[in-house]
Structure formats: C-alpha cells, structure tokens
Structure 1
Amino acid sequence: MLEAPSYHAIAAMAVTIAMFIGFARGRYPEEIISLVTIAVIGVGLYFAPLEGTKPTDGLAIAFGGFGHSALITICALMIMGRGLVVTGALEPFARLLESVFRFSPQLGLLTALLLAFSMSMFVNDTPVMVLLIPIIVGIAAKGLMASSKILMPVNTAVLLGGMATTIGTSTNILVVTIADDIGMAPIGVFQFTPIVLMAGLVAIPYLWLVMPRMLRDNSVAPDNARRTFHTRLRVGANSVLAGGDLSAARGKLPDGITFHDAPSGALAADERLHISGTHEALEEAARALKGELAPSWVVDRIRRISKANGQDIVAVEMTVTADSRLVGRTLASSGIADLYGVAVLGIHRPNRLLGERDSYTDAGDLRILEGDVLLVMGIDEDLQAFARNDGLLRLEGARELPRRSKAVLAGAIMLGAIATASLGLPWFDGMTYAPIKLPIAISALAGAIAMFVTGCVKFDRVGRALSAKVIVLIAASLAIGRVIDESGAATWLGQALSLGLAYLPPALVLSAIMLFVTILTNFASNATAATIGTPIAYSIAIQLGLPPEPLVLAVLFGCNLSFATPIAYQTNLLIMSEGGYEFGDYVRAGVPLVALMVTVLSVLLVLWYGL
C-alpha cells in the first residue's frame, strides 16, 4: 500500500506548482519569481530542515544552483558563442544558410531544422545549439525571419534529433547505463534510431509549419526604416569588377544596394562607383565584390593598430552639427583620414533630396551638410578625438566589427571543445588507442578560457555574452530539482505510478511511463527523471511479464521531450534571451508537441515490439 508523502515532499510539489503558475501567468518577470522560489526554499529548509540535515544545509540546496556545473557550463558556452560572433568565425556558413533564407524563408527554416536534427544525432545537443544560435540571430538581424520564429523550432529539432542515438545526449547514456547495471541487455547506438526517425516525420512538419505561427514576432524595425548611406566603392585590382561589366556582378549583391550613375562597359581598376545601402549591405557588397568603402591605406592602418594594441575596431554613426568645420567640404577635401586615422564609410542625408543644388561638386563628390550622418570606422579613442575636434555628435548604437583575424582560431577552439566532449580526447594507453571523453562542463570551461587567453573574447565584454535572467532562472530550476529529489517527492510519484499501472494493458503502461517521465523532466531535471524512471520501468516490465526494452526506451524518449518549459533543458535557457521568449511561449508551443510525441512514440514502440 502506498504511504502518504512526507511533509517535505508535499511542500516541494507545492512550490514547484506555484512556480509554474507564476511563470505561466506572466504577471511578474521570470527572474523575480525565480528569486522568490530560491528564497522560499532557503527559508523553508532553514526552519524545517530535511531529515538528517542541519538548517544551514537548506541554504546550500537553495543557493547551490549558482555554483552548479550546469550553470557554469551554460555560461561558458555563451562565452564561446560570443567568441564566434565577435570574430565572424561562422560567417561563411551563415552566408550559405542565409542564401537559402533569401531564396525562400520557409525553405531556409526547413533546411535549418533538418540540419539541427541530423547534427544532434552525433554531437551533444548543447554545442550544436551554441553553433547555430549566432547564425540564426545574424539571419534575423537582416530581416529574413524573426529570431523568435526560428530559435525555438530549431532548438526543439536539436532535442528530438538528440534522442535518436545513445550518444546524442548525456541523458541517453545515463538511461542506457542504468539499464545495463540493473541487468538489461545492452542497447546499441543505433538500435532505436528508426523509431525516432519515423517520429521525426511527424515532428518536423509541426516545427516547420505550426510552431512558428504560435510564437510572437520579435522582429526589429524593417530595413526600409534604417539609415541608407551613400559612398564610393573603390574597384581594386583584385576586385571581381576590374575589367568586367557591372551587370555581371549584380547577382552577387545583397538586397538594398543601389548604383547611382553606373557606367556602362568594362570597369577599370581604381574606378569609384557611387552606391548606397545600409551599413550591413555596404559591408557585404564590398566583401562580395572585393572592393573598398574607404582608402585602403587608412583601413590597413586601423587594422594594424587594432592588432598591435588588442583594441576593437568600431563602426559608429555621427551627426554633423552646425559648427562643424566639415560643413560644405567633401570627404576628399576634409582630411579626416590624415588627421584622425579613421575611415568614413558613407554619408546619410536625412530629409533632403540628394540631387538638390550644391549637393555635389563638379567631380561628383557629395558635400557634407549640417544634419548629415557619417558612418565612421576606427579605434574608439580616435573616433572620440574626431567627434570632439570636428563638432560631431556621436549617436547611440556603436557596433564592434568582427575581429576576422581571430576567426579561424575561435572556430578551432569551438570545434575542439565539441570534439573533446563528443568524440573524446586522443589518448594512447601503451599500444592501445583509448580516447577520453571530457564532461561538457570541462570542455566548455576550457574553451571559454582559451577564448579569453587568445583574445577572441575580452574580459571587459563578458557581460554582453551572459543574461542575468537566464542565470537566475537556471539557479532556481536546479534548486527545485534538488528539492524534489531529496524530499522524496520524485520517489513517491514513481511509486504511485507503479501501483496504478498494474491494471492497465501494455500499450497504456508504456504511454503512462513516458508521460510521467516527460512531466518529471520538464519540472525537475533529465538526470532525475532518468534515475527514477529507468528502474521503475524495468521493475514494471518484470512484474507484468513484458519485454523491458520498450519500457526503458519510453523512459529515454520521455527524458528528451523537454521542450514544454524553459527550465527543462539548458538549450531552452540558451535561446531564451536571444529569442525574447517568455515562460508562456514554451508552454504554448511545446505542450502540443509533447502530447503529439508521447502519442506517436508510444504507438511506434507498441508496433515495433509487438506489444
């Protein structure tokens, strides 16, 4: 007969339900609810400690999440992701995926989903998502599709693909290891892959066509609301335009680039073309055509100083004031590059017609007028001197340009961290090759340290990589998971489940186990769900005379259906700030898919094993 749960178990379940309701209602920020949850656990366990513990042990449970390896791992992965962004390491791959999104946003999303699903079958979920996040954010920044519409579907595809093999996630390995320890036959790496692939045929269309419609659009202002800068693109000797016709290069240009007074016929080296576009479009056009937006000597000088002094190159917008000495001058006659060592990449003229009288010199150069906005690139202290001495007003939104000289290094560090966690560190034991797999926490920390030491990420910029809301939410979820485990709440729920399943047919037994583990993993942790669910499933199989493998696989699948709450898995938290998600977004978009997958996977297991 099932005994009543302890007071601590009842309290743990009550706090968990209260936290969930607080998140779902959305009246207060997630970080406030998280801090209140931590406080309730700490105070409650101080005055009513768990059996066999001291009052101060409750504080360790409540605040232990801030020093937990899971939180440290996520922070380290965020830092490595920041390194990939600021060095532009993923730009080639991002441009390839971006070209698919430009052709068709829907086809681009499907491509990203299939890529994420297949990669996570062989590489741990978290590194895969860390690689994809900056690429997706870059695509969203160009207005091709909102990041909120892409990140959650792609993250879910990663989680679904991760459960296709025993090496896809650490949770899979834990379930298989526990099953092996209690006497079950070993499960092969690809033994249940066909079942997951068939389930994927149902899940991917949902992620592609349904889930994006259930998520809010967090798009920024459209491109037509952003400043358009006019500049002269210099045709270098190595440019694809040199000796060629302009019409042949138009297919390589991004949207929003306009040529003014474009010459006909073949172009000569050192020719200057009047073009206009947004900052990002101008940079992409210069890269695609191998041209220069400013004199090459000043650009080379800026890069040399940046590399020698370890300073970032910054692009900033500056407004020309009435008392600026630049009013009436052109860029060529202003001497800006000689005086300050900065490069003006373009001029934006608001609320004026560019063709008005006296806007251009006889040579076709644009005169600088009061109210113009200059797009200037350089080292920050040089930019400050330029603004201060020449009467310019520096606008908000300065952007650090990628440190491309360290792109290969940042990419190598990230790949090294992924390889050591997924494939192992090469190691020879005498005559035998035996790779040592590093825990993801160790490989991520080592990668973050390498990013710091090599200068891919600077110490004073770490705050830009981390999210305080995510950190507090992780700490609260870890505290809840530990309380549910140590109070006996999870064990009591498992015992209640095992008693109730004795009277059900095999198919419903399997579905109930998967549903129970799914609920547990979305509110506690994958490890807790695997540790409690696997022995229960094996014991029920023996008692009912059923093959244990399908029931253990039901536990494995349930542990991976962790996309109904942000606290269920660390990649859910990684995308939270980038996608601008709230707790309710996960519930609204994730719960229907959880129900769908529990049904589909249960049916497939029943049919596959003939239950």
Structure 2
Amino acid sequence: MIEAPPPHAIAAMALTIVVFYLFVRNRISIEIVSLMAIAIIAVGLYFYPMPHTQPTDGLVLAFSGFGHYALITICALMVMGRGLVVTGALDPVARFLERVFKINLQLGMLLSLALALVLSMGVNNTPVLVLLIPIFVTLAARGALPASKTLMPLNASSLLGGLSTTIGTSTNILVVSIAVDLGMQPMGVFHFTPIVLAASLIALPYIWLVMPRMLGDNSPDKGVVRRWFVTRLRVPPTSNLNGRHFDEVVDMLPEEFRFEERPNGPFSTGQRLRVSGTHDALEDAIRVLQGQIAPGWVIDAIQREARENGGDIQVVEMVVTSDSRLIDRTLPTSGIADRFGVGVLGIHRPDRPLRFDEPQEVHGDMRIAEGDVLLVMGLSPALATFAQADSLLQLEGAREVPRRSKALLAATIMGASVGLASIGLLPIAIASLGGAILMFLTGCVKFDRVGRALSGQVIVLVAASIVIGRFVLESGAAGWLGQALAMGLQHLPPAGVLAAIMLFVTILTNFASNATAATVGTPIAFAIGAELGLPQEPLILAVLFGCNLCYATPIAYQTNMLIMAEGNYQFGDYVKTGVPLVLLMVVTLSVLLVTTYSM
C-alpha cells in the first residue's frame, strides 16, 4: 500500500489535469492556457515553496522552459525548415512526384508515402506537408484520387517518419532532453530508427491500401476554378525553344498550359507567342522552356533591386476596378513596367454575360477591361504603389517567389547540420543552432521574417510543458504515480508493461498536447523502470513512440488540423482510420522493443 502523495504532488497532478481539460475543451487558446500554467506555478511556488527550497527557486523553475536547450533546438529546426521552403529546395522532389503520379495512381501514392516518411525523418513534417498538400489537391482537381483519400494517409506517413529520428518532431527532442536530465545517456539521431522502420513495414500497407478505402470522397460538389491567365511567351536567345518545332516541345509542357498560337516553322529568338495557363503551369512552362512571360529587362530590374535592398519578390493578383486608368489599354500601351517597376505576367478574363461593347484586341494584345485579374510580380512597395495609383484591388494570397539561387545552399546547410548531429560530432542543439545562424548569414532566411518561421504557439506550449514536467517530477508526483502504476503493472510481462505505458501516453497525446504528455509521461516511465527493475531506455522509447501516435483526433497534432480543411474531414474520419493504426503500432512497437532490448 502506497502512502498519500504530498501536497505539492497533489497540486502538480491537479494542475496537469486542468491543463489537459482546457486543451481538450479548446475554449481558451493554447497560448493562454500555457501562460496561465506557468503563472500559477510561479506564484504558487513563490508563496508556498516546496520543502528545502526558497521562494525564488520556484520562479527559476517556472520560467526555466524558455531557456531550455530543447526549445532552442526546436526553434532552430523551424528556421532551417523555413529555409528549405522559401528557397524552393524541395520543389524538384515535388515535381518528380507529380510526374510519377501521372504514370500510375497507386505507384504514385506509395512513392508519395515513402517520400513523406523519408523527408520527415530529417525535416519537421509541417513544411513537408505544406509543400506536398497543393500537389495532391491539384491532382484531385485533375481527376486523380480525391484529396480526402490522399491527405490523411500522407499525414500519417509523415508522422511515421517524424517518429523515426530524435529530430523528426519537437516532441522527440523534448522526450530525449527530459530523459537526459533524469540521468539517461543521450540518444543519437538514428538511435531507434531501425525499430520504427521495422514497424513501418507493417503500418505502411495499412496506410497505403486500407486507409484510403475507409475514407469517403469529401470533395465539394463544385470545385474552385483556378484562374487561367493569358500572356505572351517571349523566346530569348537562351531559350530551349530555339530551333525546335512545336511537336518536339509539346510533351514537355504542363497540362494546364497551352499555346494559343504556334509558329509555322521552328521557334526562333525574338518571337512573341500567345499562351495561356494557370499560375503554376506558367511557372513550370517558363522553367522548362527557359522563356519569358514579361519583358526581360523588367524581371532583371526587379531581381537586381531585390538583391540590393534585400526584399522578397512577390506575385499577387489584382482586380481592375471601374475607375482604373488601365481600362481599354493593352499591356504594351499601359506603361506599367516603366512607371512602377513591376511586371504583369498575365491577364485573367472572368466569365461574364455577353456584351456588345467588349473591348477588342489590338495587334493581338488584349484590351484590359473592368473585372480583369492581373498577375503581377514585383517588390512589395512597388506593388502597393501600382495598386493605389491605378485603382486596383489586391486579392489575398500573395506568393513569394522562391529564392532558388540559394536552394542548394539551404539543402547543404540542413544536410550538414543533420549529418554532424547524426554521427555524434556535435550535439543536436549546437548543430541545429549553427545551421539556423548560417541560414541567416547566407540570406536563405531573412532575420526580419523569422516570425514566419517560428510558431509562437509551439514556443509557449513547449516552455509550459517543460515547466509542468519539472513540477510533476520535483514535487514527487511522478514518483508517486510511478509507484501506483507499478503496482498495477507488476504482474504483466515486459511487452504488456511497454504497451500499457505507450497506450496511456497515446490517449493523452490524442486528447491533449503531445508535448505535455511527453513531459508528464517521461518521468513516470523512468520511475516505473526503477520500481520494476526494468531497463529504462525501452520505457522512455515507449513514451516517445506513444506521443507520436497522434492519428485518432484532429487536435492531436498541428498537421492533423492542417489537412482537415483541405480534405474536408470530419472528426469521425480521424477516429475511424486512426484508432486501428494506433492499436497496430502499439502492438508492433511493444514487441519490437522487447525483442531489441531482450527484456
């Protein structure tokens, strides 16, 4: 029979339960709940300090999460992940994936899942999903598998990849950091990768073949029509078109791109041919054909100014209003490039009732009309000036042009940081911090845009989770819970102990914060190991694995929410597909841990 827990332990457990409840209710934002938890610990321990401590010790504990090296590591990895996204370093992989999908849907799906798994092993899975989601939504619009049947399996595979390494998710870093604080030896980047890859051989067939069949077609009745822009393709001396005939290049073109006119003979330098396509298709065609859809001198001037001023080039859509001076003008006669230093990449003319006064073309160039949408490229100040001066309405959804000249550099920095940590030359905290600093110094990520790389919600949540975990540990709550759980687990075989711990943490992570579940579960598992005389490393790994089995609810992880709108998912979709996957992984990983550690 165990004794009653001390008062501070009771307070720690009560605070943890309240925080879990508030996270699940979602009535108050995660940031506010996290800050409230930190404040309660700070004030409570100041006026009612724990035995053998001073009031100021409670303040140190309450705010220790913000200076913890685990949080610094997480922020550095966010910055490096942002560098890969803004430089377009992952774009070639995405384009290759799209080509494979066109060959065979099932093969493309399998390759997509494998790709998401591998990329998420070294990069936080959030930027990976951000990159891949538009590809699957586009493929669904073109008649491939519905997005609702692909996005959830893709998310599950990326979570599986994040489970494979210590840097795959911020939760992994958190668990390993707390375990080291408790006295366990540090784990390398690929310390438990073989175990997870072995489990993946069982999980991937379910994710690939079964999960899509369990999901319905949640596509809306009428899809959103992507704007189709008309423009002129210019053939510069460096273009791949020079000397080729149309039939030689047609297979190189994206599906949503077409020539509205074609030359009688081979393409030649200086030609201006009318083409049309979606924004993405125009970008792909320009890259493949090495052509231009805006005057070369304008693009050069914009890029030169961006290098000199350190600004980001943006592409925005602007609607022509009724009092714009551009109405009835063509692009060559508008003087837009000369006056504002921006380039118009194309014009979209929306469907509208037949009009007898519809503007006619001049020498093959469209006259601009009210309601037309211009696709404009330039720096932010120039775009704002253009919109204001010519009475244009700028639409939401501006896109930054990737700084592709730094893509290889960003990939190299990320690879070097992960490599140095994986072979043990540097701790992950130092390697990732060094990589983030190099991202700043080389311009892959701009310091004034660091707010876009860092998630304030994640930062506050991780800081609060570290503090709650320390409070649970130092108050004696973890030891008391360990004794209580050990009494119930002492008659189970090692595989049963591991499965029980993993399932317990999994339930917490699916209905609350996985970071908080990690900080609470890690010291408990450590205490259970000491109580039952079992090796502590597999028990810690059971906690780490359980924290990543966040498939069963949309609130379990940020990427679960990311795909919810795009896939038009309901809460029941996560439960229906996630619970079987959780049970499959708990059983498989428990057996593999027992086998690996000879328990």
2:125 corresponds to which residue?
Answer: 129
Match of 1:474 among 441, 459, 462: 462
Identify which range, 148-157 or 324-333, moves more after superposition: 148-157
Q: Is 1:490 the counterpart of 2:478 in the alignment?
A: yes
Counterpart of 2:548 (choices 563, 566, 587) is 563
Report the counterpart of residue 4 of structure 2 in structure 1: 4
Other-structure match for 1:304: 304
Deviations 1:135-193 (A, max 9, x none): 3355367565479636641332124433899xx97667997999998xxxxx9999987
For the Cα contact (< 8 Å) 2:63–2:467, is it kept in 1? yes
1:65 match: secondary structure: helix
Shift in CA distance, 159/333, structure 1 to aligned 2, threshold 3 Å: closer
Structure 1 distance, partners of 2:580, 2:472, is 25
Q: Which residue of 2 aligns with 1:326?
A: 326
Shift of 1:338: 3.0
Offset, 1:39: 3.3
Structure 1 residue aligned with 2:257: 257
- Offset, 1:564: 4.7
Distance 1:28 1:104, change over 3 A: farther
Give, in angstroms, the shift of residue 229 of structure 1.
1.3
How much has 1:482 moved relative to structure 2?
A: 1.6
* 1:544 aligned residue: none
- The answer to whether the 8 Å contact 2:155/2:559 transfers is yes
Q: How has the CA–CA distance of structure 1 residues 511 and 76 changed in structure 2, closer, same or farther, with 3 Å as cutoff? A: closer
Inter-partner Cα distance in structure 2 for 1:84 and 1:190: 22
How much does 1:355 deviate? 11
What displacement does 1:127 show?
Answer: 3.5
CA distance in 2, matches of 1:346, 1:403: 21
Aligned to 1:271: 271
- SS in structure 2 at match of 1:315: strand
Following superposition, the deviation at residue 293 of structure 1 comes to 0.7
SS in 2 for 1:562: helix
Runs of 5+ unmatched residues, structure 2 = 141-146
Q: Deviations over 1:320-379 (max 9, x none)?
A: 344433322221223332333321101112234899776443521111223322212123
- Structure 1 residues 221, 87: closer, same or farther in 2, change over 3 A? farther
Amino acid at match of 2:451: G
Separation in 1 of the partners of 2:297 and 2:278? 23
Secondary structure at 1:275's aligned position in 2?
strand
Paired residues in the alignment total 578
Question: Any idea what the Cα deviations from partners look like across 1:217-262, whole Å, max 9, x if unmatched?
Answer: 9999997433321111123344333333334433333342233244
Determine the C-alpha separation between the residues in 1 that align with 2:165 and 2:417: 18
Which residue is 1:433 aligned to?
none
> CA contact under 8 A between 1:80 and 1:448: conserved in structure 2?
yes
Question: Post-superposition shift, 1:474?
Answer: 2.0
Matched AA of 2:544: C
Other-structure match for 2:487? 499
> Could you tell me which residue of structure 1 aligns to residue 434 of structure 2?
446
Residue 527 and residue 302 in structure 1: after superposition, are their counterparts in 2 closer, same or farther (change >3 A)?
same
User: Would you say the 8 A contact 2:119–2:125 is kept in 1?
Assistant: no
What is the match of residue 525 of structure 2? 533
Amino acid at match of 2:131: I
* CA distance in 2 between partners of 1:173 and 1:469 (Å): 20
* Counterpart amino acid of residue 369 in structure 1: A
Is 1:459 the equivalent of 2:447? yes
Quick one: distance in 2 between partners of 1:245 and 1:361? 27
Q: 1:37-70 CA distances to partner (integer Å, 9 max, x unpaired)?
A: 3333333333332222233433333333233322
Distance between the aligned counterparts of 2:188 and 2:227, measured in 1? Answer: 57
- Alpha-carbon distance, 1:530 to partner: 5.3
1:83–1:410: 8 Å Cα contact kept in structure 2? yes
Partner of 1:411: 411
Could you tell me whether the CA contact under 8 Å between 1:484 and 1:524 is conserved in 2?
A: no
Q: Give the aligned partner of residue 27 of structure 1.
A: 27
Alpha-carbon distance in 2 for matches of 1:199, 1:599: 10
Aligned to 2:143: none
2:538 to 545, 553, 559: 553
Q: Which residue of 1 aligns with 2:44?
A: 44
Determine if contact 1:116/1:128 at 8 Å carries over to the other structure. Answer: no
Compared CA separation, residues 607 and 75, structure 1 to 2 (3 A): closer
Query: Contact (CA 8 Å) 2:86, 2:445: kept in 1 or not?
Result: yes
CA contact (8 A) 1:163 1:560 kept: no
User: How many angstroms does 1:560 deviate by?
Assistant: 2.3
User: 1:450 is aligned with what amino acid?
Assistant: L
Q: Specify the alignment match of 1:291 in structure 2.
A: 291
Q: CA deviation at 1:516?
A: 5.9
Structure 2: which amino acid aligns with 1:469?
Answer: Q
Secondary structure, in 3 states, of the residue corresponding to 1:437? coil
What corresponds to 2:426 in structure 1?
Answer: 437
Q: Does 1:158 align with 2:194?
A: no
SS in structure 1 at match of 2:548 = coil
Q: Could you tell me how far apart the structure 2 residues matched to 1:88 and 1:604 are?
A: 38
SS at match of 1:347: strand
Q: Which runs of structure 2 are paired with 1:134-145 in the superposition (5 Å)?
A: 134-137=130-133, 139=135, 142=138, 145=147
Contact (CA 8 Å) 2:133, 2:151: kept in 1 or not?
A: no
When normalised by structure 1's length, the TM-score is 0.79
Q: Which amino acid aligns with 1:135?
A: L
- The aligned residue for residue 432 of structure 1 is none
Letter of the 2:27 counterpart: R
SS at match of 2:547: coil
Report the Cα distance in structure 1 between the residues aligned to 2:580 and 2:91, rounded to whole angstroms: 35
Query: Which residue identity does 1:232 align to in structure 2?
Result: R
Task: Answer whether contact 1:318 1:387 (CA < 8 A) is retained.
Answer: yes
1:399: which partner in 2?
A: 399
Runs of at least 5 residues in structure 1 that lack an aligned partner in the other structure: 182-186, 425-435, 542-547, 567-571
CA distance in 1, matches of 2:580, 2:195: 20
Q: For 1:4 and 1:536, how far apart are their aligned partners in 2?
A: 18
Q: What TM-score, normalized to structure 2?
A: 0.80
Alpha-carbon distance change, 24 to 254 in structure 1, aligned in 2, over 3 angstroms: farther
SS at match of 1:274: strand
In the other structure, the counterpart of 2:96 is 96
Offset at 1:213? 8.5
- 1:421 and 1:525, CA in 2 relative to 1: closer, same or farther beyond 3 A? farther
Instruction: Find the aligned partners of 1:218 and 1:13 in 2 and give their Cα distance.
Output: 41
Contact conserved, 1:520 with 1:529, CA < 8 A, in 2?
Answer: no
SS of alignment partner, residue 561 of structure 1 = helix
Classify 1:552/1:264 alpha carbon distance in 2 versus 1 (closer, same or farther; 3 Å).
same
CA contact (8 A) 1:63 1:479 kept: yes
Tell whether the 8 Å contact from 1:228 to 1:348 is kept in structure 2 after alignment: yes
Q: How does 1:216-227 map to 2 (within 5 A)?
A: 224-227=224-227
User: Which whole-Å CA distance do the structure 2 matches of 1:310 and 1:491 have between them?
Assistant: 54
Give the 3 Å change call, closer, same or farther, for CA 176–119 of structure 1 in structure 2: farther
Q: Which residue of structure 2 aligns with residue 379 of structure 1?
A: 379
Q: For 2:61 and 2:217, how far apart are their aligned partners in 1?
A: 38
What is aligned with 1:427? Answer: none
Shift of 1:592: 4.9
